Amino acid sequence: MGEYDAVIGLEVHAQLITETKAFCTCPNRYGAPPNTLVCPVCLGMPGILPVLNRAMLEQAMKLAFAVGATIHPRSKFDRKNYFYPDLPKGYQISQYDEPFSTGGSIELQVDGHRKLIRIRRIHLEEDAGKSMHQPDGSTLVDMNRCGVPLVEVVSEPDMSSPAEARAYLNEIRRLVRWLSVCDGNMEEGSLRCDANVSVHRKESEEFGIATEVKNMNSIRGVERALAYEIERQIGVLENGGTITRQTLLWDEAAEIARPMRRKESSDDYRYFPEPDLVEVVVTPEWIEQISRGMMELPPARRRRFCQEYGLSEATAEILAGERGVADYFEALAKESGNAKSAANWVQGEVLRILKERNCEIASFPVSVSDLASLMKEVEAERLSLGGAKRVLDRMVETGQSPESIIEQEGFAQTSDAQEIEKVVREILARFPNEVVKYKSGKKNLFGFFVGETMKATKGQANPKVASEILQKLLS
């Protein structure tokens, strides 16, 4: 960015996890066949009225707590009026000048430094339907999404780079998932993000004119779109041009942001108080009840992991990245009695398997107690670490206990020196050149011999015993 500073603010929309929609009793569920989760209310038929789903408030309250926002005892809904085929009432029920909560912040870690991003407000609203533009120019509309409860989290323009925006979004995503407030799925659109971005010369006090970037469908997309737009704005200014206020749509495939066609008429949404809903009242008792039920939040849990289990900050950060993973780790640490080793197993193997299989910790097939018994096998030196990892893979594949896999598939570690020595001799005979090299000083070949020995024994040889024998035979 050279001589320029960027100023970025994000508006994040999160679909709330609730049984039913915001203002009717239709199920709030993703992925049903189009236009099957609808009723006269969410279709905006003549004569309908909205009725607020209290679960929506509870979810919003949790998020507001988690970011340290002030929840207002009274707020109100407003109508945001505009015409679009996926907006069946011709207005969206939202909150305008009296939002649900204001204030709060999110702490980021970017390139080793901490940064606090302030949150301006969190407000409640309903989602619109989904327009699907077809190649032939027609548009199909799915109303299942109409009336899905949303919170909009508006940040202050406190971010100064695409990396910070990415970190902020990551943190919000992590938080809403942690709280089970939103599933955070950007591809499915349950978490969406619009950005306001401007640039100004470093020496200037005054912010530049901001543009709005929309249609970013992944966290990486946000980062790339912002980088693109910052670059573009700097280019315009460098060439003596001026930035105009506009909305751009990020084209992920082409990796460019295109100006949105000018909206019908203008951006005048003619907000006014929604007369069909009464004031949103959040009593101190209710706030108290929710706050008592609040779970430990990621920063607190990270700190506790460091203190209680002696984990490094980096490890704590990874393990407390997701509530399910953190819970799994803690249960494993308790069950196995070895927190360090439990941390290694979860961080290394469990997260690797989840990633490979593209699944959530909730559907990880190996129970804490099975993984703990596997760890015990390693500790008792009945199983090598490598062998244990392969046993775990088999456990995941078959759903069987470690004992039965070890028994059936012969993973048990052998410390039988005679047997191992027989294998080692074979290895040394197979690699005469390497033996010569080793003896002439290439000591780092030692690991190679250990590896070959383990390979030949399918990981069953006790690596300690194998090393001792190698030392003896190579000297």
Partner 1 sequence: MTLKIPPHSHLKNHPEELPSAVEGCLKAIEEAKPLNAFVHVLADRARHKAVEVAQAAGRGEELPLRGMILAVKDNIAIEGTSLSCASRILKDFKSLFTATAVARLEKAGAIVIGKTNLDEFAMGSSCENSIFGPTHHPLDWERVPGGSSGGSAVAVAAGLVHEALGSDTGGSVRQPAAFCGVVGLKPTYGRVSRYGLVAFGSSLDQIAPFATNCQDAFAVLCIMGGKDARDSTSAAYPMSYPTDGLKPLGQKLRIGLPKEYLEEGLQAEIGEVVHQVAGRLEKAGHELVEVSLPHSKLAVAVYYVLATAEASSNLARYDGARYGFRERSAENLRELYEDSRAGGFGREVRRRIVLGTYVLSAGYYDAYYKKAQRVRRLVLGDFLDAFGRVDVILAPTTPTTAFKIGERIDDPLAMYLSDVYTTPANLAGIPAVSVPAGKDSKGLPIGVQIMGPHFSDELILQVGCEIERLHGRI
What's the Cα-to-Cα distance from 397 to each of 332, 364, 401, 408, rounded to whole Å? 20, 11, 11, 14
CB of 328 to partner 1, least distance (A): 42
Q: Cβ 89 to partner 1, closest distance in Å?
A: 5
Of positions 85, 235, 259, 293, contacts partner 1 by CB under 8 A: 85
Of 100 and 449, which CB lies nearer to partner 1 in the complex structure? Answer: 100
Nearest to partner 1 of 40, 68 (CB atom): 40
- Report the site for partner 1 in 37-56 (rule: CB under 8 A): 40, 43-52
Backbone angles phi, psi at 418, to 5 degrees: -65, -45
386 token code pair: 């490598």
> Least distance from C-beta 294 to partner 1, angstroms?
28
89 binds partner 1 (CB under 8 A): yes
- C-beta of 39: minimal distance to partner 1 in Å? 9
Rounded Cα gap, residues 452 and 425, in angstroms? 11
Nearer to partner 1, 46 or 112 (CB): 46
Count, residues near partner 1 per rule CB under 8 A: 28
We find the least distance from the C-beta atom of residue 49 to partner 1, in angstroms, to be 5
* Nearer Cβ to partner 1 (34/44): 44
Residue in 65, 91, 329, 438 binding partner 1, rule: CB under 8 A? 91
Q: Which part of the chain contacts partner 1 (CB under 8 A), choosing from 86-94, 120-128, 148-156, 380-388?
A: 86-94
Q: Which of 258, 254, 250 is nearest to 186 (CA)?
A: 250
If one asks whether residue 245 binds partner 1 (CB under 8 A), the answer comes out as no
**CB neighbour list of residue 167: distance below 8 Å, 6 or more residues apart:** 108, 109, 110
Q: Smallest distance from the beta carbon of 14 to partner 1, in angstroms?
A: 24
Find the angle CA(153)-CA(157)-CA(162) to the nearest 5 degrees: 95
Cβ-based nearer residue to partner 1, 110 or 277: 277
φ and ψ at 242, to 5 degrees? -125, 155
Q: Which is nearer to partner 1, 81 or 170 (CB)?
A: 81
State the minimum distance, in angstroms, from the CB of residue 40 to partner 1.
5
Contacts from 285-291 at CB under 8 Å and sequence distance 24+? 286/61, 287/61, 287/71, 290/58, 290/61, 290/62, 290/65, 291/65
- Draw the binding track, 5-44, toward partner 1 (x: CB under 8 A; -: no contact): -----------------------------------x--xx
| Closest listed residue to residue 246, CA positions, set 235, 262, 231 | 262
Considering the complex, state which of residue 32 and residue 49 has its C-beta at the smaller distance from partner 1: 49
Q: Which of residues 263-282 bind partner 1 (CB under 8 A)?
A: 264, 268, 270-272, 275-278
Comparing CB distances to partner 1, the nearer of 48 and 249 is: 48
The yes or no reply on residue 260 touching partner 1 (CB under 8 A) is no
Min dist. Cβ of residue 276 to partner 1 (A)? 5
Build a one-symbol-per-residue string for 63-82: x at contacts with partner 1 by CB under 8 A, - elsewhere: ----------------x-x-
Using CB under 8 A as the binding rule, the residues of this chain from 276 to 335 that contact partner 1 are 276-278
**Nearest CB to partner 1, comparing residues 271 and 431:** 271
Q: Between residues 79 and 224, which has the closer beta carbon with respect to partner 1?
A: 79
CA distance linking residue 168 with residue 190, whole number of Å: 17
> To the nearest whole angstrom, how small is the minimum distance from the Cβ of residue 101 to partner 1?
21
Residues forming contacts to partner 1 in the complex (CB under 8 A) are 40, 43-52, 79, 81, 83, 85, 88-91, 264, 268, 270-272, 275-278
